Chains A and B, each alone.
Chain A
């Protein structure tokens, strides 16, 4: 079963994502800040991380940085209300597989998770490049 770590400082978002993902057959774990997320990733095995950016203690950028040096790290989909192309580019260049803007559709998110987890490393790179190419205004 695919294990997903949901990282968000908003309890309602955590709950909403957990209910949806579990209904779609994923196994979920929660973290409310970046530090907790990194600790859980280190201790447990996850196939994918849904990562918010604006969080207390350690933000999403810090988590991406912490995972960058770990080749066995789970794939990351950033889920954020930040909608600037600059932020999207930063996430993708920082190692994220994709970037989903809030508000989002939980069903679409489940499809995306399934796709990203199934990708071979080459497919993932292609997917990321494709996503970056669609950005119009990247002045990061």
Chain B
């Protein structure tokens, strides 16, 4: 705009618009109208003069010399005036052109200003949010509004380092599922870190200068942390200028998204800690309640025995009560300690163990204690586990089966390919499917409370199984009763030589995992 000013002023001066440094288009037009009116009047006068001279010649009979000279002078005057008008017209035209250019320029600048204002308003909105989902939504909506897209999407880098769809607008069909991974244009932006224009999402993108889809990086410290993608209908294409505007917007929005993601991660962690603290408090409350119940009976019994008016026939039963409740208390303390130990284990000591052997041992122990157990197992079945934990799991499940069921308890050990299964089956009341998750909670004893159970046995089974990367579940057994099943990750067939067998397993084409990988996977499973 500044460049044009001296030229404009000069042209204006030449065109006779002296009062203006930069005349308005209207002033120029009126000046031109003025010029042409004057030109018509003068030219008309001159033409009339010439006509008069021609027609009066025979009448006047004056000097022919003076008449022709006058005619000549008039023609010369006409030519000179015509030149003057033409020159002015040229200048006026140039002035008009310059003024029109100027207006266009001013309009463009004003558009740009509006755009910047809108951009900064959007950025303010983006930064006003701390949560990831609303922030991403604001960014996406802002971008769509800014460039007039019909739909759009934001892809963000997930834990596995791939770009995944995070937020979508106006998107239909596959891809709106929220887990669709990125391809085509988005992958190209991820690879190059540059703006990409294409005809569709799947368009891997050439160096197109316009397209129905535009994708720009959401950079953070020079790394593409996400991709913002916009689509227009078939009638409107994005220009390179649009892509630049979007890239600038994305660049300014990316930190807000990154901060929101960070904040959300922190918040999740805090919530997790609060939840863990709450669980711990409620656990302590439950344990103290469970300790108080037998204590109340013991103290009550002792106080009763101290009464002088106690009928003598009650003495034996109260002594027995004290003994029984004392034992219950001691079992509870043992279970609580066992539990603490199991929960404290972050890295269980797993090594190849013969599950079939452990099961045989436990069943023998159980039979020796007067609890008949039927065992079905292959001769050997090696798993990566902690032998002591396996023993505890089986003991607790068998104990549970005897407390809540009746008849012979059956133990089954089997190789399921992907997992190794051990099931303890009883013929009791069973567990209704809706109660299944609850039975593994601490102190979740069945309706028929038994003084014998501590309410921690199944919870301990769950903790121990999960610490070794396994799972525990309960199902209704066909024909009535409960089927408690623990599954541990399979190792594949291994010879008794232990670790030497892994190569052999691999050569047999079985999906055998090398020992170190399995161990670390188990360790991860235990800490998560």
Contacts and interface: CB of A to CB of B under 8 A. Distances in A.
A10 B297 contact: yes
A13 interface: yes
A104 interface: yes
Given A19-B314, A102-B296, A81 B303 contact: no
A122 interface: no
Nearest to A109: B300
B201 to A, nearest CB: 54
A16 B449 contact: no
Given A12-B297, A81-B296, A56 B448 contact: yes
Contacts of B293: 10, 13, 81, 102
A3 B466 CA distance: 52
A23 B296 contact: no
B459 interface: no
Interface string A57-91: 10000000000000000000000011110000000
A107 interface: yes
Residue from A11, A12, A81 having most chain B Cβ neighbours under 10 A: A12
B20 to A, nearest CB: 80
Interface in B274-328: 285, 288-289, 292-293, 295-301, 303-304, 307, 309-311, 314, 317-318, 321, 324-325
A107 B76 CA distance: 143
A118 interface: no
Residue from B285, B295, B314, B449 having most chain A Cβ neighbours under 10 A: B449
Contacts of A107: 303, 307
Contacts of A104: 296, 299-300
A126 interface: no
A16 B307 CA distance: 12
A9 B473 CA distance: 28
Contact of B300 (A9, A13, A83): A13
B449 A56 contact: yes
B325 A12 contact: yes
Nearest to A17: B300
Residue from B295, B296, B449 having most chain A Cβ neighbours under 10 A: B296
A106 B314 CA distance: 15
B281 to A, nearest CB: 11
Contact of A13 (B289, B297, B310, B318): B297
Nearest to B318: A16
A123 interface: no
A83 B296 CA distance: 13
B209 to A, nearest CB: 66
B447 interface: yes
Interface residues of B, number: 28
A16 B447 contact: no
Nearest to B285: A84
Contacts of B310: 19, 23
A16 B292 contact: no
A56 B310 CA distance: 31
B288 A57 contact: no
Given A102-B292, A103-B292, A12 B321 contact: yes
B447 A57 contact: yes
A99 to B, nearest CB: 14
Interface in A2-52: 9-13, 15-17, 19-20, 23
Contacts of A82: 289
B483 to A, nearest CB: 23
B317 A15 contact: yes
B451 interface: yes
Contacts of B318: 16, 19
Contacts of A103: 292, 295-296, 298-300
B445 to A, nearest CB: 8
A10 B296 CA distance: 10
Contacts of B301: 12, 16
A23 B311 CA distance: 8
A139 interface: no
A54 interface: yes
A107 B300 CA distance: 9
Contact of A23 (B289, B295, B298, B307): B307
Contacts of B299: 103-105
A56 B451 CA distance: 14
Contacts of B324: 12
A57 B449 CA distance: 11
A17 B304 CA distance: 9
Given A9-B449, A11-B451, A19-B310, A54 B297 contact: no
A106 B307 CA distance: 10
Contacts of A15: 317, 321
B192 to A, nearest CB: 58
B295 A102 contact: yes
Contacts of A101: 292
A77 B242 CA distance: 77
Contacts of A11: 451
A2 B325 CA distance: 30
A84 B301 CA distance: 25
Interface in B316-347: 317-318, 321, 324-325
B304 A106 contact: yes
B384 to A, nearest CB: 40
Given A54-B289, A103-B295, A103-B299, A20 B449 contact: no
A56 B449 CA distance: 8
Nearest to B447: A56
Contacts of B288: 81, 83
Contacts of B321: 12, 15-16
B300 A106 contact: yes
Contacts of B448: 56
Contacts of A56: 447-449
21 contacts: A12-B297, A12-B324, A13-B293, A16-B321, A19-B304, A19-B318, A20-B303, A20-B304, A20-B307, A23-B307, A23-B309, A54-B289, A56-B449, A57-B447, A81-B293, A83-B288, A84-B285, A102-B292, A103-B296, A104-B296, A104-B300
Q: 10 nearest interchain CB pairs?
A: A102-B296, A81-B292, A103-B296, A103-B299, A12-B297, A16-B300, A56-B447, A81-B289, A103-B295, A12-B321
